[in-house]
Structure formats: structure tokens, C-alpha cells
Structure 1
Amino acid sequence: MARVELEADRVSMQLSPLDEVLSLHGSLHIPYRHILAAHADPVPEAWFRGFRVGTNIPGVKVAGSFYNGEGAMFYDFHDPARCLTLELDHEHYRRVVVEVAHDQDAAALATQITARLPPAAG
């Protein structure tokens, strides 16, 4: 689980101490300019195929770095219905999926993040 904070120029995701251990990763800080999309769709049940570094106990906890044909992804969740997903560019991870803190709403955060994204070049 992560506490998501919207800062002036980036999204910060503070993992709980236990999740830092389980995921073998610390907090994440992602500039808005590197976020392609933010959404709160539930994580599909058959979401992962590939190599992982971290914890994957089906139905209990997923936390860590996962690698497949799409590239590197970071997951930290227990309840797939409470997840915020960020699709990224120019970052190590192509996707970050975290379960938000109990007092936060993933859909509201996704809307707020989307409003802060720079206009697409084109």
C-alpha cells in the first residue's frame, strides 16, 4: 500500500515500511511530464506473466519489479480494486500500479493527476 502525494511537479508514492521490504524498493517519485496516463481500473486477475524481483503471493500480496515483453513494471497491492495505475515514458518502469492508502480514492487521484499532465506534443 502506498500514500500518494501530488506535489507541484511530481507524484510521490510513499510505500509502507513492510511494502518497502516486500518489494525490495523504496518510495517512487515520478514527474508529471513522464506520465502518459493515470487510471483506477481494477488490476485484471491474470495480470502478470514474466520475471519478477519481489513478492508474489496470489490473493495475498504482490510487491516488486516485474519484467515481461512490455518492459519493467512496478506493482504493490493486495486489493486489485483499490489500485492507481500510471502509464509512463522516459522512466525505468513502463507502468506503476499501487494500492492507495485506505483514506485515499484511486479514481479521484487518477483524475487529479490527469488534470496536472502537460498537454501532449503534436
Structure 2
Amino acid sequence: MYILSTAPWQNPSAWEDKISWLNDFFGNQPDSPFYKKVILTHQKNLNKIAGAILLDDRPYHGAHDWDDPGLDSFWLQYGHDKELVWSKNLVNFLIEVAKSNHDSIRDKIFSVNNNYHYSLHQTDQTFKKESWE
């Protein structure tokens, strides 16, 4: 698992702040889960790979491109469904997806979601792009 993130381009300290936050919450030792597993970019679609899920709250910087049936990748919009957040059901949902017996990541997600009926993401046409994006 990797962290793929972006920050306002005009705020260079935001990039450093993201690494500091990860170090505070997950550690900065070689045995920590995200040690040297962070990609900071404004083009998240360049890191899209088969069988992967991108968890992102906004469709910009290539996030929406991750919803790709041909590549078997998926964009799961964080917070779009108020039940799919860290403090509620997101972790258990992702664990169920990981344990699913289906071959493709998309089939796993849709199969597990048949039990819950979460709204997994919305179209990018409904977003208001912020000045920093």
C-alpha cells in the first residue's frame, strides 16, 4: 500500500506537512507501513496500476481517471457516502474487498457493495474546483 497525495502548488510547506503528518501517525522507521511509500504528485493518473484502488475525496489531478474498467482500477471517493469514512465503515469495507474471492478489484468492490449499497463516487461534473487545485 502506498500514499498518493497532492498539495497546493503555491504552498511548498504543505508538501512537507504531509510527510510530517504521516510520520506522526505512522512512524518514520523502516518498519512503519508507509516508510518511503509516499508519492506526492499533481498527476495521480500517472501512477494508476491494474488492480488498485485510489481513495480520494476529489476527482482532480487524475483521481477520476482511476475509475478504469479496462485496467481494473477504481476511484473510491472518500466521504461521498457519509458511511464510507475512517471513523465509520471504510476500514471494514476495504477489508471485505481484500478478502473477496473475485478475480478483479472492480468485481470485488461491486460484490461487497451489493451487501451495503454505498455510493462509491459521483461524476466530476458536480464538483467545484478550488483555486488551489
Q: If the length of structure 2 is used for normalisation, what is the TM-score?
A: 0.24
- The higher radius of gyration belongs to 2
Larger RCO of the pair (alpha carbons < 8 Å, separation 6+)? 1
Structure (1 or 2) with the greater strand fraction: 1
Q: If the length of structure 1 is used for normalisation, what is the TM-score?
A: 0.25
Structure (1 or 2) with the greater helix fraction: 2
